[in-house]
Chains A and B, each alone.
Chain A
Amino acid sequence: MLKLEHIYKWVSSGGRRIFLLNDLNLKVEEGEFLSIMGPSGSGKSTLLNVVAMLDDFQEGEYFFEEEAIHSLKPKKRTEIFNQNIGFIFQAYHLLDDLTVYENIETPLLYKKVKSSERKALVADILDRFNIVGKKDLFPHQLSGGQQQLVGIARALIIKPKLILADEPTGNLNSKQSDEIMGLFKDLNNDGVTIIQATHSESNAEYGSRTIHLLDGTVQKS
């Protein structure tokens, strides 16, 4: 599905280069559930941002379904991202002023989906996640686990091929965490490719493959 080859990303500090990604190679097949592990600062988030095309890199090649991302214009990249990728944050990042329903609906608005279709899609996913009763609540009225559930629902609403999750359970307790991971497993079984960054061994085990990142390079696969 996607292929990263010899990716280098650095920032300059005091004339020296600090490498965030250092000759990183990664291949992810369609239908995989990949867990990325590594200590803080090892480049997990940076890697996810690069995969999500939200962040640039200085050297290397990135192919997403045969598309050479490194040579595309920003606008085209954004388009590919919007069509194919859902992003889930550790801090949920729900929009405070919007209800659960509106939060989930937002990506569809940006994709200019028709109103009737939007209603059907949102109703569908609320039902699937068992949060129909919460649809008119605001984020601060929900627990962390429920908020992350909304975050996932929001990422899934556009039916992405790939889900990127940056420590999705980092702010949750273990029970909530297990529920979310179970949900990921189900999604994966339905054919969605998932890449998650995590600190937790037990979460990583939900995945079909785990890689370890240290100083911006893959340790073993």
Chain B
Amino acid sequence: MYANKERIYRVIFNTKEDRNNEIWATVPAALKPAAEEGIPEVEKSARLWDHDFGKTASIQADNQNFTEEKLYYADSEFFDIFQIDFIYGNAENQLDRPNTGVLSESTAFKYFGNINPIGKTINIDNKIKLEVTGVYNDFPGNSSLDGNIIGSFKSIGFYKEPSWSNASFETYFLLNKDADPTAVNTKMQKLIDANVEKEDQWYTLDLQPLERMHLFSANIKSAYTSKLGSIEEVRNFSLLAILILLIACINYMNLATARSQKSTKDVGINKTLGASQKILIARFFTETAFVTLIAIILAFPLTFLSLPVFEKIVGSSLSLNFLLSLEFLGAILAIWLITTLIAGSFPALHLSRFSPMEVIRSGRDKESFSAFLRKGLVIVQFSASVILIIASVVIYNQLEFMRNKNLGYNPENTMAVSIAALKSNAERETLINQFESISEVSSATMAQGYPGISVSGRTLYKNMNSDESTPLKTNRTKGGVVETLQLKLLAGKDLPENKQETDSIVDVVLNKNAVDFLGITPQEAIGKNIIANLGPNAYVIGVVDDFNFSSLRTPIGAYAFNNGFEPLRYMLVRFKSNDLPQTLGKFKETFGEIAPTVAFDYTFLDSHVEQMYASEKRTAQAALTFAGLAIFVACLGLFGLAAFMAEQRTKEVGVRKVLGASVSSITRLLSKDFITLVVIALMIAFPLAYWMARKWLQEFSYRIEIGWQIFAIAGILAILIAAVTVSFQAIKAAISNPIHSLKNE
């Protein structure tokens, strides 16, 4: 996509053990200028800073307020590295001056309509003004970069004082044509050595090729883009696709060998007429290849028709341009050949091997091997289907569990309103007072963050002289946070409503986990001075019970609300409303009166919690879709096989009917064998599914127990589906008139 894509790298930040060896996509701002001087291989480099460390920006343009999540500040080389076409303005010399910026086409249209916006000004959070100097084509759908507004890096304070300790900047290198990335790595380390004291080096740097960014970044934190793919997901989907194709192959083999009982005679006759085994094998493979070819041709229009379903599963829009690309057609050709080989192998080799006499003479013994194989294949199919059913049920149950789990706070009827763009603390105070006077608001407070988003990371020490420590999340808030989030107070009290700006005492409300770490009871903790880089005068005034401040994947750690000194970015509001749109309207109006130049940007805490599990939800949907598909295909096979078996046993059915068998007893007789197969499949599938489900659930610190009910549901479902499929054929055979099948030869 980008002309130099194989020479573009993102710098990766590897933290050391004391930060759990986390890998970040953001690096210190000082790297770029140092690399430009010290690493000749770096042809161009550019930093990106996500506005206010990833917070939503409030934008004023043409006297209208907007919110923008994708606002970056970038060095002027950015558009040299990533070549994007400009609609207004040139790609050259963009972002050269402070307080300039460029807009994406759709953003420019949103703010200014259909005019050329060059020279217009946008006001960001009432703090930074940017002059628009260009409009670029929206980043393509398959691009990981996703900025809607890109301001010049020179507009922000970090430009003048780049540090080696604040790793908050995505940095891209365009290397020379023959550059060796490992050499660049070594040189980056030299730069660190030259600029950072050995004992302060809590990280190393590394390069990630642009082309690996999308799929191989699952373990990389703090990356800016939200358009992240996962190779894991790609592999899982491929695996499922192969599984279904395999089930379909099994069907083909099953039906082919079933039918072979009829065509064996044909084979025998051909052999007596002089056909060699080679010719016969070729014949079977040709037949199979033809069937597979028709399937492939049908698959193309079906892909187009089912595109919306796929898009729903993966949660993004897909382009089908690749369908006619050479690589893809090559892959299809390979799939065609492999499928034909697999599906055709058994019938071809099995049938052509028969000796003519054995084939022509219809006996019982020679059937047994293929009958055995058919049964084995049906078992495999149903095992796979049952595993998929159980997988979807487990995933759905886990999702339900997470949705309904008592989080230790109450995310319902609570919203977080961005207040970072408000001009002053006085304005914030006015705002919260106004909100508290709205009848629907039961309580409100201001905070640095809220559960589910990142707050400050500090370290809590056991005592003054101890090295024993635990990571501590700290969240600066105003008074009333315990009340607003509905946390359970175990001892002491909520943070006080009033605190002087000059007061150097920091009040702290710890969670139970932190108190447990200190080895004291909640009551004992009250009044204690804690050592957690919160200043020398941090005293515990309250203890709340543990609550899930991040996702349920991770266990609860130590947490501290405090009235320290970090900026307050959100107003948390608990409200009661019978008419949400009306209440929201009221909120917006009140907000607009106090901060007319700031967009009213809010998040409901409960929907934020839901969002944390979006990927699990996708997995569940995918598993369900594939389970349905697999079962459908498996049933098709079972249906055909049952039809064949019923046909093969028409004589027996006739005899039994003449001997007085009822329709129901015949149906039972014919269905019994298949149900037995399904039951065996269940026996195989259950332990496998249990093992897989347990492994998947390990990812969650809070997870469901895998109860027997799940297996019961899956088992009953599988048997029911198989019974319906088979009994259709069985009943058909059972109600037929026996005299037709018993005609004398």
Contacts and interface: CB of A to CB of B under 8 A. Distances in A.
Contacts of B742: 89, 91, 93
Interface stretch (B263-271, B282-290, B536-544, B648-656): B648-656
Interface string B196-217: 0000000000000000000000
A184 interface: no
Contact of B745 (A91, A95, A110, A158): A91
Given A49-B739, A55-B739, A107-B660, A166 B744 contact: yes
Interface string A102-122: 000011001100000000000
B660 A158 contact: yes
Interface in B695-745: 737-739, 742-745
Nearest to B745: A91
A96 interface: yes
B652 A54 contact: no
A55 B744 contact: no
Contact-residue size bin, chain A (C-beta under 8 Å from the other chain): 20 to 34
Nearest to B662: A110
Interface residues of B, number: 19
A45 interface: yes
A90 interface: yes
A216 to B, nearest CB: 16
Interface in A38-53: 45, 49, 52
A96 B652 contact: yes
B661 A110 contact: yes
Contacts of A107: 659-660
A42 B738 CA distance: 21
B744 A54 contact: no
B127 interface: no
A205 B656 CA distance: 31
A107 B501 CA distance: 99
Nearest to A94: B655
A55 B742 CA distance: 12
Contacts of A166: 744
Given A45-B744, A54-B737, A140-B364, A93 B651 contact: yes
Contacts of A54: 658, 737-739
Interface string A22-49: 0000000000000000000000010001
B665 interface: yes
Given A54-B739, A93-B654, A95-B655, A170 B744 contact: yes
Nearest to A98: B652
Contacts of B665: 110
A205 to B, nearest CB: 22
A138 to B, nearest CB: 9
A89 B655 CA distance: 10
A140 B365 CA distance: 12
A94 B654 CA distance: 11
Contacts of B651: 93
A152 to B, nearest CB: 13
Contacts of B661: 110
A176 interface: no
Interface string B162-197: 000000000000000000000000000000000000
Contacts of B654: 93
A91 B658 CA distance: 14
Nearest to A55: B739
Given A54-B739, A55-B737, A93 B660 contact: no
A82 B660 contact: yes
A186 to B, nearest CB: 23
A166 B658 CA distance: 13
A160 B125 CA distance: 100
13 contacts: A49-B739, A54-B658, A55-B739, A91-B745, A93-B654, A93-B742, A94-B655, A95-B655, A107-B659, A110-B661, A111-B660, A140-B364, A167-B744
Given A52-B658, A91-B742, A166-B744, 4 more contacts: A54-B737, A87-B658, A95-B656, A110-B659
